[in-house]
Structure 1
Amino acid sequence: MKPSKNIVSTAIKDLTDYFNSTDFSKAILLGIALTIPIIVGVKLDALQIGITITVGALLASPSDVSGSIRHKISGILFATLLAMIVSLIGGYLHLSLWLLFPILGILMFGISYLAIYGFRASLISFSGLLALVLSFSKVSGGMEPYERFLLIGIGGLWYVALSLLRHFIFPKAPTEYYLSKTLRLTADYLRTRGELVAETTDRAELLKKLLNTQTELTAIHETLRDILISSRTGSGKSDYEGKRMLIFVQLVDMLELAMANPVDYSKTDTLFNQNPQQLADFQGLLFAMSSRLNVISANISNPKKLRHNAKIVEFQEKIKNDISEYASGSNENFDENILMLKNLFKYQKEQIKKIEKIEWLLKNPAQREISLLKKEDSRRFLTKQNYDFEVLAENFNMRSPIFKHSLRLGVMTMIGYGAGMLFSVQNPYWILLTLIVIMRPTFGLTKTRSKERTIGTLIGGALAVGIVLLTQNTTVYGILAIVSLVIAFSMVQRNYKAAATFITLSVVFIYALLRPDIFNVIQYRVMDTLIGAGLATLGNLLLWPAWEMQGMQKTLLETIKANRIYLEEIIGFYNKKGAIPSQYKVARKKAFLAMSDLSAAFQRMTQEPKSKQKNLDKFYEIAMLNHTFLSSLASLSTYILNNPTTPASENFNKVSSKIVQNLLDAEAILKYEIAAETEKEDTDVEDIFEATFGKKIIFSEDGLPKENDFHLKIEEAHLVREQLKWLLAMSKKIQKIVRETNF
């Protein structure tokens, strides 16, 4: 019964998340934007005008993604302007077959190349590509190109008006949704950490799961930064936004704490095997914190429903007793296991403080009780996109994946449209539509999209046939077309296969309202999708392929560099003490983002042909080493930031400088500034460390006024010493693997 209950619970949770998501609300908005102009057009006997305005709204919609309202509206307006210009040009392409193919290729290349400016620019680019493809359709009937140009502009402005209306009616919805999602993902991260504490054969799988959750969390953190920081800088001081910003800060700190790994698993395995109750209590505390975050997530918009939960306090008391019992049974003055348990517990207590702070902030304390972040400090955390013309010029070469993708897309659309005309396909532009939706800069993503699009189209076609055989009622077709369209757009980012299924259903039923030969429509839809998917896959395989391995060197360089800068900030703070500088948190953010990029690049590499997965085992080892290195940095920084520490010793600076130098050497190898073959002569890591720190922690109790101070110093020395030793070993190993890897 229990597994089935878990499945039902997960399904309900996923369904609730789906209906609360910004994807679903945007899909509803798009459904309204597309339906009303057509209804008004029918009523006024101006259906073609209504359809063209609908097309304008559709072309404006891709840029409506989560972020600040200013960035969102700017993106929609730019997308509308590009769609208008491209539609005007596309309206005249049919006049000459000789001009059609080269201009089609050039336009596809140029519009696609705009994606070089980042994610939002890629969505604007997609609007332009879609406008060009739809200019080949007959959706606007016998309308003049300039008339379509103006009506598409009106459609875009209509969508802007609806987006602004939604924002003013539900201004808090995106913030609440993404904060809730961040809480849930952080809860998942803590639960996985709890599972990792136990000795298990699936530890490698759990680490992979941990890395995937971290990548997803980092992406959502970026979205929340844009929503919260941009809204504060654009609209002045807001108590609501300020408090939500502070909750977000707690969640970012929680990720660092959750990443922190202050213990060696081999040591905890030995200890917990001898003391299974300690393992159960530490796991229980992590699971209790995870459950509490899920409860907060479910009640984020109504914190009054949050009831006191004694489980966290209960497990805290159990762990305190476990440590006391273990200490009383130990014969050594300073047992390393006691220090390890105390440090591990300290990290959990810091995590509990963060959860308590989030609950306190949610319960709307008075303004005077909280200290909001300064705008100037918060703006430093935004990732700024460079929109200079130089970016276009710098990437205009075959080393750029976006340049190669744009070139590939231009060639394949000419071939695709030519194939459609040659074989007298009913709607050749459907082939182009499939190409622009499926083709991605890398082979792995294109292959996955092709597969999902093909399967989704076949399922959609089969469902459409079944429904047509059951009923020929046009009212049913109209309702199903609208519902399918809304579901399709809400699923594009979540499940592309499901989205493709509902897009097919929507297209088929829209055509069913206009044409009687619905089975031919289904047949051609499936055939055009198969042609487009086949061409997309072949194009990525044969035309200037961009294999992930070609960009792995740059991605790895950025990751190592980000980790080094983060380490340098930690070293600087340990030496200077005082207030936590904002550049420390910026460095931490960049290290997390770089690690997520490396993880995503490795995942894409695994989707490529086996022959192109060169040194896959090495890249996996490098990715995991960098993740472990970042976890160790998080452990070190968390301890230094949250505990009163002694002045940084000369030995600390000596070893930490060696770690920084190892990372600099790894960067130099990747930049070809040091030949990979010439390895620096160096003593063994253990020898360097022991020559500096010695084999044991040695403290003199002379002059210490309190015994407690002595214990605190021992704890600090133990944790800092262990992390430094671990970081030194990993930095040396990273450098070694980079030398051995043939990029």
Structure 2
Amino acid sequence: MIYLDEFKKFIFSHNLSTGVRLTLGAIIPSLIFQHYGILGEMIAFPLGTLIIGATDNPGPYHRRRNALLVAIGTCFVVACITGFLRHLHFVIFIEIIVFGMLFSLVGVYGNRVNSIGLIALLVFVFNIDDHLSGDMVLRTAAIFAAGGIWYFLLFMILQKLLPYKLIQQLLGESFIELGKLLSIKAGYYFANPDYDGLFNRIVKQQVLLRENHENLREILFKTREIVTESTNKSRILMLMFLDSIDLFERILNSQQNYANLHRAFDHTKVLRLFGTYIIWLAEEIQTIGIAVQSGFASQPRHDLDEAFAKCQKAFERMREYKMTHENMEDFIMLRQILNSLQDVTERIKKMHRATTYDAEVGKGYTLNVQGDNFIPKQEYHPRILLDNLSLKSSHFRHAVRVTLGLLVGYFASLFFELGHGYWILLTIVVILKPAFSITQKRNIHRIGGTLLGVATGFMLLYLVKDSTALFVFMMLAMVTAYSFLKINYFIASTSITLYVILSFNFLNPNHIQTVLEDRVVDTIIGSVIAYVISSYVLPVWEHSQINQYIKEALDANRKYFDLVAGKFAGKELDINEMKVSRKDAIIAMANLSDNFQKMLSEPKRQRLNMQEYHQFVATSHMLTSYIASLSTYAQMLNYSEFSTEFELMIRQIDRQLLAATDIIEGKKNNTFEITRESLPQNQKLIELLAKRKKEIKELGIEKADQSASRKMLSDIKTINGLFELISTITIDEIKILQKIKAANT
């Protein structure tokens, strides 16, 4: 790890800018109010800034703007209703049921609306007693809304001054994560690779990239200035994004039979040389990512031309002395890796140039994809909410858990004499999530972070007496809290606890010991309630949903395969449609992987058929990779004379994919016979291969290389091998699904 690079990634990241924006947005008015001695009366203002600002998720300008306005209005109404009726305990129980169900169930409309529902519940919790507003309910609600409006104005000003900053930050993060993915792939080229460990890391990395790409697609294709009123900078940003997607596909389709590679070449240094070069390429991609985030041009770390030439010479030297007609196919596989490395190298050199924002780079740019097909669709029809009013809906079950948790928490706050009982409800709201695995993780992080934050706060108050120093520590804690809120909840929870304690010390230093005690007690009570509720009240275990994700992955891969393979049967390839199918297949694969990763964190009794599901996730990943590899050749080559042979193979594979889908849908079919059918042989390839081996044997490598059939053989052998791999993987998936079906019956 290069620590300077890690520091740069954090400094220029979207997460840090969010933390700084929220902190300054809350601190600046607080200092002004403190100067005039009215901070105690106006404390709802910075609180409104922080809470409303929490709904400002990455996305297109108009969606962020609308979400902030809706959040301000919603929170104002909730604060008024709660404040005016809080002295009637039976009414509060009714409010908990109504607000708990409504604001949890709105998650069916996506993450942005879900975040508005979450902060509406937080506002309800903050106003459930009179600690914030006393008898001046309307005044406090108005001050709270004013804090939200202040954040909205801050957002509008920054958007006007830095219209491309968010795109640059997210695009830079995408390159950084892409570089990490490539560095993981490099592990396959060194001695004794841990195949399972590397695969699990790749799966997690692809899930992160999927989320990042979804955000970027929405922002880029929904931003008018990018799509219709292009400037040089916007053109180049769009160009870099599209290139990063193609680069992701190139890395994805570099899947090889690594066991065979090591069997054939472990005794040489060529694989280690390739692995080292891949690490260099990964470092270059991350360097580009940091440059995109910062807005400065990137500087290459390595001489890629010289390094690639070294790899090429090593391959050619070994090929000259060690290739025979018997191991020729191994060298074809190695040649394909070298070609892939050359392609990635050229793409990286192009992206280095793009970071200069030179007009020549974006010259001739045209958006050759239909943006509407790449934007995540989200409907807001009331029917969607009504359709989820059922125990079959995971969203409805989550809403019931949140509501019940709040009811139990409120009863506990009344039963126990606690000075800050609303912290119990606050803990329940932020911990309870639809997935048990996430709830469990946040629960542990919440308790651990609270204890560490309280201990750190106590030590600071005991050792540091200077108020200016404490104020600096409080600001740093706030920045850290909101920078890590979405990436590391333990650090965020620790920092939130710390800045809450320090802020209470400024407001009311005489009662700080009570605050420390209440923070720990209330958090533990809330965490225990959240754990019990998530474990025993209408839990939604991941194994109950995984079949749907499997079906989506099979359907997406089948559509992707049929579209790409059709080119080899003589059909035209629609590039835009192919890219849409590729996107859908990658998203389906990432969703399935994410579901499986969540299963690993669930109780052992709920982890059913884990070995089989792990095998299916692995084969699904390889299937998408092999189809992506096939798409690369489909875009470059056109060997129509082989279309008859390929068409027979395509039909067989399509039947296999359909059979796998039939199993997951519970349909009866002849899957047993399909698994026993062998893929039709490519007779023309067999003849071409025999001819090439004969040339090498009789003429030698040097003269045989002058044959016109050399490149054709290399291409067709690789394409044919991909069809064979896809068929083998699909049959493996059928057998895995048959095992799962047998275990469940």
TM-score clears 0.5 = yes
* 1:529-548 mapped onto 2 (5 Å cutoff): 529-548=523-542
- Looking at structure 2, the residues matched to 87 and 146 of structure 1 have their Cα atoms a distance apart, in angstroms, of 8
TM-score, length-normalised on structure 2?
Answer: 0.92
Q: Which moved more, 1:113-122 or 1:86-95?
A: 86-95
Query: Which residue, out of 109, 130, 151, partners 2:143?
Result: 151
Q: CA deviation at 1:218?
A: 1.9
Inter-partner Cα distance in structure 1 for 2:283 and 2:396: 47
**Range moving further from structure 2, 589-598 or 27-36:** 27-36
1:135 corresponding residue in structure 2: 127
Provide the residue aligned with 2:254 in structure 1. 261
Aligned mate of 1:689, from 656, 679, 690: 679
Match of 2:494 among 490, 494, 501: 501
Q: Which moved more, 1:521-530 or 1:68-77?
A: 68-77
Q: 1:187 aligns with which of 176, 179, 192?
A: 179
CA contact (8 A) 1:37 1:50 kept: no
1:282 corresponds to 2:281: no
Measure the CA separation in 1 of the matches of 2:359 and 2:539.
58
Change (3 A) 1:561 1:34: same
| 1:99 paired to 2:98 | no
Bigger shift: residues 287-296 or 129-138: 287-296
Structure 2 residue aligned with 1:247: 240
| SS of alignment partner, residue 649 of structure 1 | helix
Mapping for residues 8-157 of structure 1, pairs under 5 Å: 9-10=2-3, 12-44=4-36, 46-47=38-39, 50-138=42-130, 140-157=132-149
Whether 2:306 is the aligned partner of 1:313: answer: yes
Change (3 A) 1:608 1:489: same
> CA shift at 1:575, angstroms?
4.0
2:231 matches 1:238: yes
User: Relative to structure 1, is the Cα distance of residues 697 and 140 closer, same or farther in structure 2, using a 3 angstrom cutoff?
Assistant: farther
Aligned residues of 1:618 and 1:737 also touching (Cα < 8 A):
yes
Distance (Å, rounded) in 1 between the aligned partners of 2:192 and 2:348: 28
CA distance in 1, matches of 2:280, 2:633: 23
| 2:586 pairs with 1:587 | no
Contact preservation (8 Å) 2:15, 2:482: yes
Q: After TM superposition, give the deviation of residue 333 of structure 1 in Å.
A: 8.9
Q: How far did 1:126 drift?
A: 1.1
Q: Which runs of 5+ in 2 are unaligned?
A: 693-704
How many angstroms does 1:147 deviate by? 2.9
Matches of 1:63 and 1:670 in 2, distance apart? 38
2:665 equivalent in structure 1: 671
Taking the aligned partners of 1:322 and 1:367, their CA distance within structure 2 comes to 35
Contact 1:91 1:135 in 2 (8 A): yes
In 2, Cα distance between equivalents of 1:213 and 1:632: 18
Q: Which residue of 1 aligns with 2:211?
A: 219
Q: Which deviates further from its counterpart, 48-57 or 604-613?
A: 48-57
Whole-Å separation in 2 of the counterparts to 1:435 and 1:583: 45
Q: CA deviation at 1:331?
A: 3.9
The residue type equivalent to 2:514 in the other structure is N
Alignment of 1:171 with 2:170, yes or no, is no
Contact 2:304 2:345 in 1 (8 A): no
Query: Quick check: 23-32 or 534-543, which moved more?
Result: 23-32
Residue 3 of structure 1: aligned partner: none
Cα-to-partner distance string for 1:267-300 (whole Å, 9 max, x where unaligned): 21122124x1222332233223223223333434
Distance 1:435 1:355, change over 3 A: same
Distance in 2 between residues matched to 1:737 and 1:462, nearest whole Å: 51
Q: Distance in 1 between matches of 2:295 and 2:31?
A: 38
Q: Distance in 2 between matches of 1:263 and 1:476?
A: 57
Q: Does 1:605 align with 2:599?
A: yes
- Alignment equivalent of 1:659, drawn from 623, 641, 653: 653
Shift of residue 307, structure 1, vs aligned partner:
5.0
Residues 33, 209 of structure 1: alpha-carbon distance in 2 compared, 3 angstrom cutoff: same
Closer/same/farther in 2, CA of residues 414 and 710 from structure 1, 3 Å limit: same
Change (3 A) 1:332 1:223: same
Answer yes or no: is the 8 Å Cα contact 1:59–1:83 preserved in 2: no
State the one-letter code of the partner of 1:63: T
The change in CA–CA distance for 1:454 and 1:696 in structure 2 (over 3 A counts) is: same
Contact 1:575 1:647 in 2 (8 A): no
2:152 aligns with one of 150, 160, 185: 160
Q: Identity of counterpart residues, as a percentage?
A: 22
Q: Which 5+ residue runs of structure 1 have no aligned equivalent?
A: 1-5
The one-letter amino acid of 2:299's match is L
Q: How does 1:564-575 map to 2 (within 5 A)?
A: 564-575=558-569
1:357 to 350, 371, 379: 350
Distance 1:359 1:544 in 2: 52
Secondary structure at the counterpart of residue 133 of structure 2: coil
For normalisation by structure 1, the TM-score amounts to 0.92
Alignment of 1:143-542 (within 5 A): 143-231=135-223, 232=225, 236-261=229-254, 263-274=256-267, 276-300=268-292, 301=294, 304=297, 306-307=299-300, 309-323=302-316, 325-327=318-320, 329-332=322-325, 335-366=328-359, 370-374=363-367, 377-515=370-508, 516-542=510-536
Distance 2:373 2:156 in 1: 27
Offset of residue 253 of structure 1: 1.0
Q: Over residues 142-195 of structure 1, what are the superposed CA-to-partner deviations in whole Å (9 max), with x where a residue is unaligned? A: 354333343333222211110122222333322222222222222222222222
Query: What is the CA distance between 1:367 and its match in structure 2?
Result: 5.5
Aligned residues: 727
Give the deviation of 1:205 after TM superposition. Answer: 0.7
| Partners of 2:32 and 2:470 in 1: CA distance | 19
CA distance 1:620–1:643, change in 2 (3 Å):
same
SS at match of 1:682: helix
Partner Cα separation in structure 1 for residue 296 and residue 511 of structure 2: 56
Cα distance, 1:671–1:86 mapped onto 2, change above 3 Å:
farther
Q: Counterpart of 2:671? A: 680
Whether contact under 8 Å (2:481, 2:493) holds in the other structure is: yes
CA separation in 2, counterparts of 1:287 and 1:483?
A: 35
Q: 1:352 to 1:643 in 2, by over 3 A?
A: farther
Distance 1:585 1:464 in 2: 52
Q: Distance in 1 between matches of 2:256 and 2:13?
A: 38
The CA RMSD measured in Å over matched residues stands at 2.6
Counterparts of 1:153 and 1:375 in 2: how far apart (Å)? 44
Q: Whole-Å Cα distance in 1 between the matches of residues 586 and 96 of structure 2? A: 41
Q: Distance in 2 between matches of 1:513 and 1:418?
A: 31
Q: Quote the residue 1:559 is aligned against.
A: 553
User: How far 1:679 sits from its partner (Å)?
Assistant: 4.7
AA of the residue aligned to 1:450: N
SS of equivalent residue, structure 2 residue 266: helix
Structure 1 SS opposite 2:709: helix
Once the two structures are superposed, residues 238-271 of structure 1 have per-residue CA deviations (whole angstroms, 9 ceiling, x without a partner) of: 2211111111111111111111135322321122
Deviation at 1:348, TM superposition (A): 1.6
Q: Return 713-722 or 426-435, whichever deviates more.
A: 713-722
Say which SS state the counterpart of residue 397 (structure 1) adopts.
coil
Distance apart, 1:450 and its partner CA? 0.6
Shift of the alpha carbon at 1:437?
A: 0.6
* 1:46–1:364 distance in 2 versus 1, CA, 3 Å: closer
Q: Deviations over 1:587-621 (max 9, x none)?
A: 11111111111111111111011011111111111
